[in-house]
C-alpha cells in the first residue's frame, strides 16, 4: 500500500469518486502495520503471545465496505438496485456468519468464509462495472476507475480459490498453505500498482476529456 500512498502524496487532487479508495488505502495500511507489529512481537518473544488473525477479518470488512460504497456511487444510473442489494447481502452474511457460525475474533484463524464471500461479491461489482462501460460509446475502459477496478478484479480472481481452500489446506499441509499465500501477496502488490497508476493518471485524464 506504500506504493499508491506515495503517489497520492504527489497527486493529492483526486476525484471525489476515488475517495473511498483513498480511505481504504489509509485504513488498510494502518491495519497491515498492526499485523506486522504483532508478528514482530511474537518473533521477539519467540512465542505466539498475540494473534493478528482478527485484523485480517477487519481488513476484509473495511475493503468490502469501502469498495461497495465506491461501486454504488461510481455509475449511479447503472445496476443501482443490484449494487445496493449486493451491499446489503454482504452485511447480512457478516451478521449471520459471525453470530451463528464463526467467531470474528478467533485468535487461531481468520475467516476463510468472510474473505471468500467478500471476493465473490466484489467480483460481481467489477463485472457490473465492465457491463456498464460496454454501454458507454465515448470512452469505454478509460480513466482512473478502469485501473482501480481492473486491479481489484485481478486481485480477486487470483485469490478467490486461495481464500476458499486456504483454511482446509492449512489443516492438511501448513507448508503448502503458507507458500500459496505468497500468491495472495503478489496479487496484492499488482493491485496496489494499478491503484497507483489510477492516481498518477488522474490529472492527465482530466485534461484529456
d(CA 202, CA 193): 14
d(CA 111, CA 56): 8
| DSSP-derived secondary structure for 45-82 | HTS--S--HHHHHHHHHHHHHHHHHHHHHHSTTSSHHH
pTM score, two decimals?
Answer: 0.87
Give buried/exposed letters for 109-127 (b at 16+ CB in 10 A, else e): bbbbbbbbbbbbbbbbbbe
Provide the grid cell at 51.
Answer: 494473534
Question: Per residue in 19-74, pLDDT tens?
Answer: 999 999 999 999 999 988 988 887 878 776 788 889 999 999 999 999 999 999 98
Q: Are 147 and 176 in contact (CB under 8 A)?
A: no
The reported pLDDT for the residue numbered 209 is: 38
Cα dist. 46→39, 41, 110, 175 in Å?
10, 8, 21, 19
The reported pLDDT for the residue numbered 20 is: 94
> Which residue shows C-alpha cell 512465542?
47
The reported pLDDT for the residue numbered 169 is: 85
The reported pLDDT for the residue numbered 208 is: 40
d(CA 196, CA 151): 10
Spell out, as residue ranges, where the chain has pLDDT lower than 50.
205-209
Whole-angstrom Cα Rg for the chain = 18
| CB-CB neighbours of 205 under 10 Å | 17
Amino acid at each position: 500500500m506504500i506504493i499508491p500512498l506515495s503517489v497520492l502524496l504527489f497527486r493529492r487532487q483526486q476525484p471525489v469518486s476515488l475517495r473511498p479508495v483513498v480511505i481504504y488505502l489509509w485504513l488498510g495500511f494502518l491495519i497491515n502495520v498492526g499485523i506486522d507489529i504483532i508478528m514482530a512481537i511474537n518473533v521477539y518473544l519467540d512465542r505466539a503471545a498475540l494473534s493478528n488473525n482478527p485484523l485480517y477479518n477487519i481488513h476484509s470488512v473495511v475493503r468490502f465496505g469501502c469498495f461497495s460504497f465506491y461501486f454504488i456511487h461510481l455509475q449511479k444510473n447503472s445496476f443501482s438496485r443490484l449494487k445496493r442489494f449486493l451491499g446489503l447481502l454482504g452485511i447480512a452474511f457478516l451478521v449471520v456468519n459471525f453470530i451463528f457460525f464463526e467467531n470474528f475474533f478467533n485468535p487461531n484463524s481468520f475467516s476463510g468464509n468472510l474473505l471468500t464471500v467478500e471476493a465473490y461479491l466484489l467480483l460481481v461489482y467489477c463485472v457490473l462495472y465492465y457491463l456498464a462501460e460496454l454501454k458507454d460509446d465515448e470512452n469505454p475502459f478509460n480513466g482512473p476507475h478502469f485501473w482501480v477496478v481492473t486491479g481489484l478484479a485481478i486481485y480477486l480472481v487470483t485469490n478467490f480459490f486461495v481464500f476458499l481452500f486456504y483454511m482446509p489446506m492449512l489443516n492438511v499441509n501448513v507448508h503448502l498453505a503458507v507458500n500459496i499465500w505468497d500468491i495472495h501477496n503478489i496479487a496484492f502488490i499488482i493491485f496496489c500498482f494499478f491503484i497507483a497508476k489510477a492516481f498518477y493518471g488522474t490529472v492527465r485524464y482530466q485534461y484529456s476529456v
